[in-house]
Amino acid sequence: MRDRLKAYVEVSVPKIDEEIFSFLRVQEPARFLYEPMRDYPERGGKRFRSVLVMLCCEAVGGDPAKALRTAAAFEMFQSFALVHDDIEDGSEMRRGMPCLHHIHGIPLAINVGDALYSKMFEVLAANRSILGEKKTLDILDIMIEGARLTFEGQAFDIGWIEAAEIPTVDEFIEMLRRKTGWYSGKGPCETGVIIGDGSAEQIHALGQFGETMAVAFQIRDDLLNLIISKEDAATAPEGTTGGYGKERGGDIAEGKRTMMAIDVLQNAAEADIDRVRAILDQGRDLTTEDDINWVIDLMQSIGAIDRATEECRRRAAEAEKHLQTIEDSEPKLALSEMCSFLVERVF
């Protein structure tokens, strides 16, 4: 059941969106910058990173209204990261529609992503009237460090493809911890606790909850890329209702080193390993639907998908344990429901 989370999202997301778009006003050059900057946020999305900020603030006794601007800043970072990530990965779809660079071209899309990254700092600096100088600067420091971690993780993710290298499982998890673990979990949770005047113990515990949950979420997201139907792949994600919005098997076409790909390359028959490597390394334009289906079937037949599913659930259970350090409350229960939703969602 996700009743508490669903109710919280329904109340919070309209407020978050109002805050986001108050910083994304359309002016000149409208067609070439300010309208495209609104594109990904206007397509929807689960907004779970921004909701995490508010839930963690409230879970330690803080006022979630004071976390609203920081929540909006995380959505700015998310939109920036998606624009650049889609270009770097050569992705086709985002939230059920063509990626921004397919609509406007790569140069304009890069500039839009840069502008969204800059806008994030504008939003955070505007926190001074809400949080005061010290908290504002503390959160800025956290965001700067988190951005560095995200870029390091992305460097591994795309670097392994460019160098035709296969990481170990431990190296892959470390990449996820940096690329996704911070901005999809640890960062939102820690900043929420700081805004809510939580203790150092609470900052650590909820930060660990967020990071562990985010890694599990990313493994689940990679799984969905394989098992989602074509129809559901075209459905944009929205709140707690599911949705995926990216092309099925795109990770294989892009040569992504996912947990399932690493598993296959460790456990499949030698001839199959050679074919998988060839498909992953041949380039997106050369990868056919038959190639993608063959790799997915192989992952299924040797148990790679089942093993990744169990790993995802194990990490979700580990994340839940970190919630035990905070007092019971409705926000705490909503955090638990979010963890379950993000790692168990099916379509």
CA distances from 140 to 48, 100, 137, 230, 298 (A): 20, 28, 5, 40, 45
**Domain-wise residue ranges, the chain:** 3-344
Give me the pLDDT at residue 289, please.
94
Cα 238 from Cα 249, distance rounded (Å): 21
Q: What is the pTM of this model?
A: 0.91
Give me the pLDDT at residue 346, please.
44
Give me the pLDDT at residue 90, please.
87
Give me the pLDDT at residue 347, please.
32
Cα 261 from Cα 311, distance rounded (Å): 14
Half-sphere exposure of 237 (CA within 13 A, CB side): 22
- The count of other CB atoms within 10 Å of the CB of residue 81 is 22
Q: What does the pLDDT look like over 227-275, one tens digit per residue?
A: 886 655 555 555 555 555 567 899 999 999 999 999 999 999 999 999 9
Half-sphere exposure of 63 (CA within 13 A, CB side): 5
Pick out the chain residues at pLDDT < 70.
1-2, 229-246, 345-347
- State the architecture of 3-344 in CATH terms: Orthogonal Bundle (1.10)
Give me the pLDDT at residue 142, please.
94
How buried is residue 277: exposed, middle or buried, by Cβ count under 10 Å (0-12/13-18/19+)? middle
